[in-house]
Amino acid sequence: MEKQHDISQSYATTLYEAALKGDKTSLGELLKNDEFILDRCIIEKSCIFMQSPLHVAVKKGHLDFVKEILRLKPELAEVVDQLKRSSPLHIAAARKEGAGLAEPAVHDHDENIIDILLKTAPNMCFVHDQDGMTPLHVAAVNGNTEVLIEFLEKKRQAALERTTRGETILHLCVKNCQVETLKALVEITYDLELLNSQDSDGNTVLHLAVAYKEVKMVEFLLGKGDKIDKNAMNKKHQTIMDIFELTKCREVSKDIKTDEVSDADTKIEKLLKAKHASRAKKVLKRSEDEKWLEQQNTALMVVASCIATLSFQVGINPPGGVWQDDNKGHEAGTSIMSYDKDKDSYNIVQVSNTIGLMSSLSVILLLISGLPCKRFFVFILRVTLWIAVTASATTYLYTIGFLTNDIFDKTGLLEDALDYSVEIWLWLMLVILFGHGLRLIWKAIGHKKRRKIRGVLERAQRSRYCPNINNA
């Protein structure tokens, strides 16, 4: 039994030596002596060896040996080693063309190791090793651009796989300073929306490029225009500008401000300012402003729609109705109210109603026009709605007064109520106009003047409560 075990170990050693050399002849002779030797590589997990013969052959780039061993035992393509739980595809992805002592892999598209492994076990490109990386991640770390392109041609969705830290292949390119690989991948994976993907810390590729001070990467990424979110925030609510300022402060505090770092800082700062990158506070304020504007637009649309509906109804169905017949002194379909002796009231009702209708319709038209909605634009819409609301109130007051019989209102309470309502409404409008006028004046003064006035007021207040201080 012990002798048989020694023979098996001897065969295994010979097999691994053949894999190291890419010796197909030795492999054939071994299989004649022990036809189950490749099966034992799977069952016993390569015996005393940490990797399968296929791992070894792939690492050395022995194409013919790899093809032969996969023809005999394709299951070996799915075996992971005991070092880092790497598959043969992981090993191939990490291997630089021409590296090692053996001959380089053949460059023919139909005759390379990556292609053969993918054909044999295509789903292995989704398998993660001990470090949480797929073969694509390994290729990105090592800057194997051609390997990555071939992966993406065969299994495009594999680019969406992430490491245990939530990193994409683009994140790994930045972390490992693979500039050219990053450029190639961004162009290839543009439709997969990886450019603005965030890792487990919420950092985008641009966050990392700024943090690592990769000037070429920052320039390339910012050159993507609207495709890149230059104001994205990570989980610490930091934008790329915050990251830049933070790393700059750390360098100053640690006294590591070399000429090289200083030059990188200067270039990155120019790039960020040229693209109008903002700090988190400004981005949050802008977001709040946009949310506020959206809420204001919704409210204005609802109010304008209600006023327009009411005004339209008053216009086509005037108070008192319309004549139903043609007779001496009137025509069918005309307003009864317009034939009344108090025609001035009727004119005021129709004019104010028309103003209310057109003002509210103007607000609706401007809201759906697609014009950029800024604060000043909302202010104009508000003023227009003030006019519409005032016109609607005027229409109501004159209509009530016109429709009420003088005999019914003997006490004059209704007339007094209408008069008081008009007065209150006018005062309310004056207060609103005065308040907004003060607000506009205060804004026009400017920050410096406001600070100066505030300082004068504070000194006056101090002298009022502490008069002895100035005399001391």
How does pLDDT run across 368-407, given as a tens digit for each residue? 887 777 777 888 888 888 889 888 888 888 777 776 665 5
45 has pLDDT over 60: no
Segment 312-341 shows an average pLDDT of 72
Query: Residue 214 phi/psi, 5° resolution?
Result: -90, 90
Question: Which of 158-162, 392-396, 441-445 has maximum average pLDDT?
Answer: 158-162
pLDDT confidence of residue 10:
66
pLDDT confidence of residue 150:
87
All CATH 1.25.40.20 domain ranges of the chain, comma separated, are 1-130
204 has pLDDT over 90: yes
217 has pLDDT over 90: yes
CA–CA dist 468, 227 (Å, integer): 65
Residue 101: pLDDT band (50, 70, 90) is very low
pLDDT confidence of residue 261:
58
Segment 70-91 shows an average pLDDT of 88
Structural tokens at position 241: 């500008």
Mean pLDDT for all residues in the chain: 79
CA–CA dist 138, 89 (Å, integer): 10
Structural tokens at position 105: 């892999």
325 has pLDDT over 50: yes
CATH class held by domain 1-130: mainly alpha
Segment 346-368 shows an average pLDDT of 87
Residue 5: pLDDT band (50, 70, 90) is very low
48 has pLDDT over 60: no
232 has pLDDT over 70: yes
pLDDT confidence of residue 7:
52
Residue 200: pLDDT band (50, 70, 90) is very high
Asked which of 35-39, 179-183, 370-374, 411-415 is least confident by mean pLDDT, the reply is 411-415
106 has pLDDT over 80: no
CA–CA dist 110, 112 (Å, integer): 6
Q: Is 416 exposed, middle or buried (0-12, 13-18, 19+ CB in 10 A)?
A: exposed
